[in-house]
Every structure is written in C-alpha cells, then in structure tokens.
C-alpha cells in the first residue's frame, strides 16, 4: 500500500474547508472544470503512478458501493 490514508493534516477541517470554499460561487460547470484542474495539479505533485492508481481505486469504490446500495434499495 503506497497510498497514505492516515490523517495527514494537523487540521483536517481546514483542508476540507479550503476545497469547499474554492467551489463557492461557481456554476456546476465551473466546479467540474475546477476539480479537473485540481486533480491534475495534485496528481503531478504526488508524482507516483502507484499512489495515483491506488487513489483512483479508492475513489472508484465509492461508485461501486453506491451502485450496490441502489440495487439493494430496489
């Protein structure tokens, strides 16, 4: 496991808040553009393809879990 999932920010609320605030006042379209740029900037900063792939896998599991929940509800 190359991806760190332990809490790395001394003040995690600040980090979350910074991202939330960056989206304030943006349209849906602008928000999506903003996210795309932010993802690319952070991915390059990490600079490790294995970490990136693990992060993608972790994020993608939300989609799969979401689908399964939907199916169970149906």
Partner 1 sequence: MAPANTHQAKTQFGYRRHPDQDRPGQSPAEHPVVIVGAGPVGLSLAIDLAQRGQRVVLLDDADRIGEGSRAICFSKRSLEYWDRLGVADRMVDKGVVWSVGRIFHGESQLYQFNLLPEDGHKRPAFINLQQYYAEAYLVDRIGDLPGIDLRWRNKVTALEQRNDSAVLTIETPEGAYRLHAQYVVACDGARSSLRQMVGAEFAGQVFEDQFLIADVKMTAEFPTERWFWFDPPFHAGRSALLHRQPDDVWRIDLQLNRYADPVVEKKPENVRPRIARMLGHDKFEFEWISLYKFQCRRMDRFIHGRVIFAGDSAHQVSPFGARGANSGLEDAENLSWKLDRVLRGTSPASLLESYHVERSMAADENIRESTRSTDFMAPNSHQEARLRKAVLSLAKETEFGKRMVNGGRLSVPCSYDTPLSSRDADDWRGGPSPGCSMLDAPVAGQGYLTDAFRQGGTDFTLLSFSNGAVLEAPDGVRDIRIGGEGGLADPSGLVAKRYDAEPGAAYLLRPDGYVAARFRHPTREAIASALSRAAGLN
Kindly list the residues in this chain that would bind partner 1 in the complex (CB under 8 A): 32-33, 36-37, 39-41, 44
| Residue 13: CB minimum distance to partner 1, A | 27
Whether the CB-CB separation of 2 and 54 falls below 8 Å is answered with yes
Question: How crowded is residue 55: how many other Cβ atoms within 10 Å of its Cβ?
Answer: 19
Residue 3 in contact with residue 51, Cβ under 8 Å? yes
Whichever of 36 and 58 has its CB closer to partner 1, that residue is 36
Q: Which is nearer to partner 1, 25 or 47 (CB)?
A: 47
Q: Of 11 and 45, which has the nearer Cβ to partner 1?
A: 45
């Amino acid at each position: 496991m190359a991806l760190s999932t332990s809490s790395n920010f001394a003040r995690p609320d600040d980090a979350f808040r910074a991202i939330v605030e960056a989206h304030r006042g943006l349209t849906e379209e602008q928000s999506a553009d903003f996210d795309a740029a932010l993802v690319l900037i952070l991915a390059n900063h990490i600079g490790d393809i294995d970490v990136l792939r693990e992060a993608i896998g972790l994020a993608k599991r939300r989609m799969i879990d979401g689908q399964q929940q939907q199916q169970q509800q149906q």
